[in-house]
């Protein structure tokens, strides 16, 4: 049975699932869909065409689905899609997509968004990610599964962050971070593999192969794409393949120190 405060404002047309909790002074738009078991705490606002999955916990004063902060936005039909089992903390701001980015912002499942996190328009976030306090994703950013962004870190628009990557707190990232890697600094550069994260999820053999591939790609002083292609020809490890393919497909470049 849903628990909805009589002081919440829920527009006609909103779809509310089973066992949903909505606190006082919340606003739920007519185009919203709230999945079973989701809890929305007092003062939070769900705007526009926003679909929220099951068992999410949205803490107080979050603003979810308000118009994208893009001067080109002219009221088009856009949406925000959020998966299941996410924790969205206080004063977070999530924007929907824009016409120029496909019209959708898409958030996966089992993510933690700490206080004051901003998710810009047309962003794609995978599953099991952590964004610490005041991390900021500009428009069109993509994050793979299990990625971690430290607090007070802005991410430039169109940046791609691979799976299991980590960007340290108080960094400023303007280029792509490959999967399994760690970046730090302003502007952020690669500092090695995200070994702490990898040890939690990967086998030792996989980590050893990634270490070798990282040295070849980013520390040997040879052309990056040439080495990536060479590694792809001889490796059967899917994680190394993922790392090499990312290096070949990057559009904003990878921030690492070139050695001569």
Per-position DSSP letters for 176-241, written without gaps between them = -B-TTEEEEEBTEEEEEE-HHHHHHHS-HHHHHHHHHHHHHHHTS-S-HHHHHHHHHHH---HHHH
Of 139, 144, 162, 197, the catalytic one is 139
Taking only the tens place, the pLDDT of each residue in 129-139 is 999 999 999 99
For position 70, what pLDDT does the model report? Answer: 97
75 a catalytic residue: no
The boundaries of every CATH 2.160.10.10 domain in the chain are 3-140
Q: Output the CATH code of domain 198-249.
A: 1.20.1180
For 247, the enclosing helix (H) or strand (E) is helix 238-249
19 a catalytic residue: no
3-140: CATH topology: UDP N-Acetylglucosamine Acyltransferase; domain 1 (2.160.10)
The boundaries of every CATH 1.20.1180 domain in the chain are 198-249
For position 260, what pLDDT does the model report? Answer: 61
Query: Among all chains, which residue has been given the structure tokens 């810009």?
Result: 120
Q: Measuring CA to CA, which residue among 3, 82, 84, 94 is closest to residue 41?
A: 3
For position 151, what pLDDT does the model report? Answer: 98
For position 250, what pLDDT does the model report? Answer: 98
How far is residue 34's CA from residue 64's CA, in Å, rounded to a whole number? Answer: 12
Question: Is 35 within 8 Å of 21 (Cβ atoms)?
Answer: no
For position 14, what pLDDT does the model report? Answer: 98
**Cβ-Cβ contacts under 8 Å for 164 (sequence gap 6 or more):** 144, 145, 146, 147, 179, 180, 194, 197, 198, 201, 202
Of 70, 122, 145, 176, the catalytic one is 122
Of 48, 97, 108, 121, the catalytic one is 121
Q: Which residues, given as ranges, of the chain have pLDDT below 70? A: 260
For position 2, what pLDDT does the model report? Answer: 83
Peptide bond into 247 cis (omega under 30): no
For position 95, what pLDDT does the model report? Answer: 98
How far is residue 101's CA from residue 98's CA, in Å, rounded to a whole number? Answer: 5
How far is residue 57's CA from residue 80's CA, in Å, rounded to a whole number? Answer: 16
pTM for the model stands at 0.97
Q: Measuring CA to CA, which residue among 12, 40, 14, 46 is closest to residue 27?
A: 46
Taking only the tens place, the pLDDT of each residue in 144-168 is 999 999 999 999 999 999 999 999 9
122 a catalytic residue: yes
């Amino acid at each position: 049975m849903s628990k909805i405060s009589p002081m919440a404002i829920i527009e006609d047309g909103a779809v509310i699932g089973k066992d949903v909790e909505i606190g006082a002074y919340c606003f739920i738009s007519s185009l919203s869909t709230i999945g079973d078991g989701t809890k929305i705490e007092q003062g939070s606002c769900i705007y526009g065409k926003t679909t929220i999955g099951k068992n999410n916990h949205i803490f107080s004063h979050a603003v979810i689905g308000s118009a994208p902060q893009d001067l080109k936005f002219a009221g088009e039909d856009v949406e925000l899609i959020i998966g299941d089992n996410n924790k969205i903390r206080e004063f977070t701001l999530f924007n929907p997509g824009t016409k120029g980015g496909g019209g959708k912002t898409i958030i996966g499942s089992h993510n933690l968004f700490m206080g004051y996190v901003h998710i810009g328009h047309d962003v794609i976030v995978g599953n099991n990610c952590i964004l610490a306090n005041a991390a900021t994703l500009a428009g069109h950013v993509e994050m793979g599964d299990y990625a971690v962004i430290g607090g007070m870190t802005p991410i430039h628009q169109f940046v791609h962050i691979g799976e299991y990557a980590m960007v340290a707190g108080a960094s400023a990232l303007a280029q792509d971070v490959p999967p399994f890697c760690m970046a730090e600094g302003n502007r952020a550069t690669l500092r090695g593999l995200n070994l702490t994260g990898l040890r939690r999820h990967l086998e030792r053999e996989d980590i050893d192969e990634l270490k070798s591939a990282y040295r070849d790609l980013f520390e040997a002083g040879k052309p990056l794409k040439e080495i990536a292609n060479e590694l792809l020809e001889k490796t059967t490890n899917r994680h190394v393949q993922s790392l090499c393919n990312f290096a070949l497909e990057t559009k904003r470049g990878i921030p690492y120190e070139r050695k001569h």
